Amino acid sequence: MTKELTKRVITSIVLAAVVLNCLLINNHSWIVLLIVISLISWSEFFNLIKKIYKKIFPRLTLLTLSFLVLLLFTYSAYKIRNYHDGEIAIIFILLICIFSDIGGYVVGKSVGGKKLTKISPNKTISGSIGSFLFSLFPIGIYELFSIITNNDIFRFALENKLIIVCLTLSLTCQIGDLLISFFKRKAKIKDTGNILPGHGGMLDRIDGIIFAVIISNLFN
């Protein structure tokens, strides 16, 4: 295992532990975590925009919009947690986003082929398809959990339409990722920050999750 991959794995484990603990303890720890994540992400986006736009109007417009999006993300994530079995709903959403990212990386690297867009040269059509396919894996986890616990836990997710939910959230993740990639490309930088060893910035890690959580809240 390379040094960079080792850092990435360790950071992922620490992140998962922090998120799960804050999610499962209570609403207070969860909202504090969401606020901290949103503020760090907004700060990174602010630094990104400063590198691209020199005039005050486009800066102010984008910073206001980004603040509103992160505010909506915080509200949505907090609201979902307060649904029946909301903690599990949050985990399910995160699993869809994680598997979507893994599918894009694994299939994109293995198959390659035609580029998806000029916005992000490393992304391919095969990788996008892989993201959609891998995003369905959490359904298997859901079914296994339901069998073990004898409990239909995802009332929030339109129980008989889980495939649509997964594919929609995968698409949302990919769009969110491309959106931030667009700004990074314009700013001529690789990462939005360096707060997460092996991952880059907070925004690099949650760009797709932000929009997936917002869309998930609309499924109710």
Q: Nearest CA to 164 among 126, 211, 215?
A: 215
The larger pLDDT score, comparing residue 111 to residue 118, is at 111
- Average pLDDT, whole number, for the chain? 87
What pLDDT is recorded for position 114?
A: 80
Is the Cβ–Cβ distance between 214 and 207 less than 8 Å? Answer: no
Least confident of 9-23, 159-173, 177-191, 197-211: 159-173
Say if residue 200's pLDDT is above 80: yes
Residue 158: pLDDT band by 50, 70, 90 thresholds? Answer: very low
